[in-house]
Structure 1
Amino acid sequence: MAKIMMYTSAVCPYCINAERLLRNKGVTEIEKIRIDLQPELRAEMMEKTGRRTVPQIYIDERHVGGFDDLHALDVRGELDPLLAA
């Protein structure tokens, strides 16, 4: 199974939905970087992704975007192969 890393915060419904989708796909481990607990990491996230909002999700080394992007990958049938890699 692929390695999942997600920039997240505690009060983010999109983060919760992203985690739920990944768990439903069989993901058991998600490395969470809490930008609400470590605000300096928001700047890192913005520099790496070009985005300001959470979640920002990586599958292995590939930035897939936020929840809407993750969901779109799933709808197109592209998420399962990424997770299986």
Structure 2
Amino acid sequence: MSAAKTKAEQIINDNSVAVFSKSYCPYCKATKALLNEMGAKYYAIELDQVDDGAAIQDALQQISGQRSVPNIYIKKQHIGGNSDLQAKKGDLPTLLKDAGAL
């Protein structure tokens, strides 16, 4: 298994909410704004600001089938991207509470 895949899986496993993001991405910003608005504790990694970002992005495709960012996990479950998260807005407080992120 690649080091990037191990790192990605460790981030997903170690954080109740994990957001794989890029600092300049408007959809990533919308995702983090929604989580901040909800008062969620989450871990975000900016793939454009880490040396192995491209490799992590490739690994995410192997893990979830999604390569695009934001790539969001709550309680180790792949949620999808920003539009998927926004669509779950009504369920989000419960999801975040169950994950221990509120």
Q: TM-score range by the shorter chain?
A: 0.7 to 0.9
- Separation (CA, whole Å) in 2 of partners of 1:69 and 1:47: 19
Aligned to 1:39, the other structure's residue is in SS state helix
Aligned counterpart in structure 2 of residue 71 of structure 1, from 79, 86, 94: 86
| Letter matched to residue 47 of structure 1 | Q
**Structure 2 residue runs without a partner (length 5+):** 1-14
Cα-Cα RMSD: 1.4
TM-score w.r.t. the length of structure 1 is 0.86
How far 1:8 sits from its partner (Å)?
0.7
- Separation (CA, whole Å) in 1 of partners of 2:91 and 2:77: 13
TM-score w.r.t. the length of structure 2 is 0.73
> Would you say how many aligned residue pairs link Structure 1 and Structure 2?
81
Note the alpha carbon deviations across 1:13-69, whole angstroms, 9 max, x for none.
000000000111111x32123322321101111111211210010111111110100
- Separation (CA, whole Å) in 2 of partners of 1:41 and 1:34: 11
Q: Which of these two proteins has the greater Rg computed from alpha carbons?
A: 2
More moved, 37-46 vs 8-17: 37-46
Structure with greater proportional helix content: 2
**Structure 1 residue runs without a partner (length 5+):** none
Query: What is the aligned-residue identity percentage?
Result: 32
- Separation (CA, whole Å) in 1 of partners of 2:58 and 2:46: 12
- Where has structure 1 moved over 3 Å in runs of 4 or more? none
